[in-house]
Structure 1
Amino acid sequence: MENFTQYNPTKVIFGREVTDQLPTELSWKKALVIIGEDSAKRNGLYARVVSLMNMAGLEHVTYSGVKANATYQDADAAVQKAKDYQAEVVIAIGGCSVIDTAKAVALGVYSKNSVWDFFMVKEASPEKALPVLNILTIASTGSVMNNVSVLCDQKSGVKKEFSHDLIYPKTAFLDPYYSFTVPLKQTTLGVSITIAYAVQQFLNEGDALLTDYITADLIRLSIQNGKEITGNLQDYKLRANLMWLATIALNDTLSAGRNYTDKSITCIAFALDMCCEIGHGASLAIVLCAWLKMHQYRYLSRIKFLAKQVFGLDGFDYDATATSFIRKMEEFYRYVQVPVRLSEAGVNETQKQEILLSFQRNKITVSNYKMTDKDYETLLELMW
């Protein structure tokens, strides 16, 4: 087992109507509230939060319009609003993009430069940040309980992540009820994201037996609940399971004892996000399946473990078992209507060169495997 430090200061309040506890977590005078384009207003959550802030005597202004593929430009605009208002806390209402933006804003308030400078390593490591609270509306990447923010620059076509302990959310409110309005497509794409991040951590080096079994169970339960949710989007139990699974998938639980130094799958999915606009969950499913095929022999024993624990597949032929596991994963994705090929996602082969260029712009920076130009071409072919 690799050496590791387990640290996560985020307080999670989970369950029905937990947002009503918001006033007990507020000790500031002014807040910047960040929301997406309209879902938080549509489902009544924004109005409820405003009412609770008023009850607590917390003054606030709102920055709205954060897109699904969060941009640093939105974060910079929100930073300026926070500075002008002299906000003391940032409150995110929404999914991962809104929360990622809120984290970047929390850092940007104490900087004279664009938040993008942190992501591009053009500015020294931050020394302080505003506290962040979040109210989650979709089961997705686990940003609700980690120290990572992901933003992009649409102009340059670059998408990057930045991590720092200062941006762990102070308090996270997870009420599965507010994910009821998330449509089927976004729901199953969220399941895909949960699974991909779990597998990515599992493929890293380190002998961490307990972590392995937790990871396998998380993937198995994500598949089980992901299938069941397609028949009943209003099932509270399923919504609750998926929300907690997504949170655990990326709050460092699954990296304990592992040398989490390879994020190749994420980086390649970022590249697809920037040129194909098919949704991060679709990008990850396509990349994950292609990556496992390309590196099947590197991961034979790892895949065999997952095959047995997730699907009950076992046998002496490691290669055949690994092939069966990948096929089972593809069958699951198709069952929940998540594409596993670029062609299934509506991407035309005429975009191949554009995609390869995006791979170059978003080169893998955290990896145990050095990708050559030929490797990128091979991987792309496996995605069709």
Structure 2
Amino acid sequence: MNNFEYCVPTRVIFGRDTQKRAGELIKEYGFRKVMIHYGGGSVKRSGLLDQVTASLREAGIETVLFGGVQANPTLSKALEGMEICRREGVDFILAVGGGSVIDSAKCIADGAPNPEIDPWKFFMKEAVPPKALPHGNILTLSASGSETSQSCVITNEENGLKRGFNCPAHRPLFAVCNPELTFTVSRFQTGCGTVDILMHTLERYLGGTTKDTALTDRIAEGLMKAVIEAGTAADLNPEDYEARATLMWAGSLSHNDLTGLGREVMMTVHQLEHELSGKYPEVAHGAGLSALFCSWARYVCRDDPMRFAQLAVRVWDVEMNFENPLKTALDGIQRIEDYFKSLNMPVRLSELAADVKEADFDEMAEKCTNFGRRVLPGIRELGKREMMEIYRMAL
């Protein structure tokens, strides 16, 4: 087990009707003017936005509404939000939505108090925000784990780059998590979320070469088995509270570092997917991951067949073939692919909503290497050639 530091200070308020406590929570911290940041019309149609604004109004807190966040949140939208925060004197940002809205709020929080710095420099690792606005969230989609994580991913439309930036200021002050708010999430988005939650732990489990992480392995395996069961249950009955609750809590645990403690963390498939949805913004993140993962896994599993075999046996109930552990590993990968299919998720790039073209793979791989400045480490190092081979396998 490697050395590690673990700090997840986000306060989680979990359960039925918890969104009604928004005003009470923000008042506790002493904030006076809040930007409520949200996505499309669903929070309006459901009445959630009205509930939240009423709660803040009753607590004597001023509000500024800023909506319009799309999947794969953009820098341009965040720049608008930064300007509004400065102009209106906002001292707290409340994200009401899923990972895209929360990430957009984090980007706004980074940039609003630092007008002298181009916020894209944060995502290019060229600068760190000297200060940031505090923020919290009311979660409406179980997927990214951004509600408690230090991660933030933004797309720059000008250059087509989709980049992540991690920093402690990205940890929300609080996350309000009511599983009932996910009952109306579509089958497709539920599938995308289930894939994303699984992938955050799968990539931690498979991404590095660290040995002797028995406790972390068991935590990861238990979470994955619970997500597999809950994902199927929510797919069959969208209003299954316990399934939705499991997915919501697992989403937070899967991406707040818990399931990778003491291991190298190499989110390789996420990096490949960022270039995919950066090039094709209409591709949902979870769908891109399901379309890429099994091709990546088949490409690299020969470099550590025992690790993949362990996953197959402990999580996917494959019988161990001691004479041929690679067969066990490949059988496990097939079980994962079959599970994605059972959720009606794509397992090939050709099954995505976008018309993905092989001619774009060179550009995608070039960007993924930061224009030749890096290889992706892991069980097997991936340079540009290897990345292109995986993209082709997945087509």
What's the TM-score, normalizing by structure 2? 0.93
Work out whether 1:210 is the aligned partner of 2:232: no
Q: Using the alignment, how far apart are the partners of 2:316 and 2:267 within structure 1?
A: 25
- Please say if 1:71 is aligned against 2:74: yes
Structure 1 moving runs of 4+ over 3 Å: 346-349
Where does residue 367 of structure 1 map in the other structure? 377
Residue equivalent to 1:274: 278
Please list every run of 5 or more consecutive structure 1 residues that lacks an aligned counterpart in the other structure: none
**Residue number in structure 2 paired with 1:56:** 59
Note the C-alpha offset of 1:381. 2.0
Distance in 1, Cα, partners of 2:267 & 2:224: 18
Alignment map for 1:305-320 (pairs within 5 Å):
305-313=310-318, 314-316=320-322, 317-320=324-327
Once residues 105 and 352 of structure 2 are traced to their aligned partners in structure 1, the CA distance between those partners, rounded to angstroms, is 30
Query: 1:303: Cα distance to partner?
Result: 1.0
Cα contact 1:157–1:361 (8 A) shared by 2: no
Is the contact between residue 111 and residue 129 of structure 2 (CA under 8 Å) also seen in structure 1?
no
CA distance in 1, matches of 2:315, 2:302: 19
Please say if 1:263 is aligned against 2:273: no
SS in 2 for 1:197: helix
Question: Once the 2 structures are TM-superposed, how far is the Cα of residue 347 of structure 1 from its aligned partner?
Answer: 5.0
Mapped to 2, the partners of 1:227 and 1:363 lie a distance apart of 36
What code does the residue aligned with 1:205 have?
T
1:243 maps to which residue?
248
The reply to whether residue 119 of structure 1 matches residue 130 of structure 2 is no
Structure 1 residue 275: Cα displacement: 2.3
Say which of 74, 77, 82 aligns to 2:85.
82
Count of residues paired in the alignment: 381
Cα deviation, residue 290, structure 1: 1.0
Q: Deviations along 1:159-215, whole A, 9 cap, x unmatched?
A: 000111012000100001111111100001100111111111112232311111111
Match in the other structure for 2:344? 337
Task: Determine if contact 2:97/2:138 at 8 Å carries over to the other structure.
Answer: yes
| 1:189 aligned partner | 192
The structural deviation recorded for 1:96 is 0.2
Q: Alignment RMSD, CA only?
A: 1.5
Instruction: Provide the C-alpha distance between the structure 1 equivalents of 2:368 and 2:388, rounded to a whole number of angstroms.
Output: 15
Q: Percent identity?
A: 29
Q: 1:135, CA displacement in angstroms?
A: 0.2
Contact 1:75 1:115 in 2 (8 A): no
**2:34 maps to which residue?**
31
1:380 aligns with 2:391: yes
Once the two structures are TM-superposed, the CA of residue 155 in structure 1 deviates from its matched residue by: 2.5
Q: Deviation of residue 344 (structure 1)?
A: 2.1
Residues 4 and 136 (structure 1 numbering): CA distance in 2 closer, same or farther, change over 3 Å?
A: same
Residues 145-167 of structure 1, C-alpha deviation per residue, up to 9 Å, x if partnerless? 01111001122110000111012
Query: Unaligned 5+ residue runs, structure 2?
Result: none
Q: Secondary structure at the match of 1:259?
A: coil
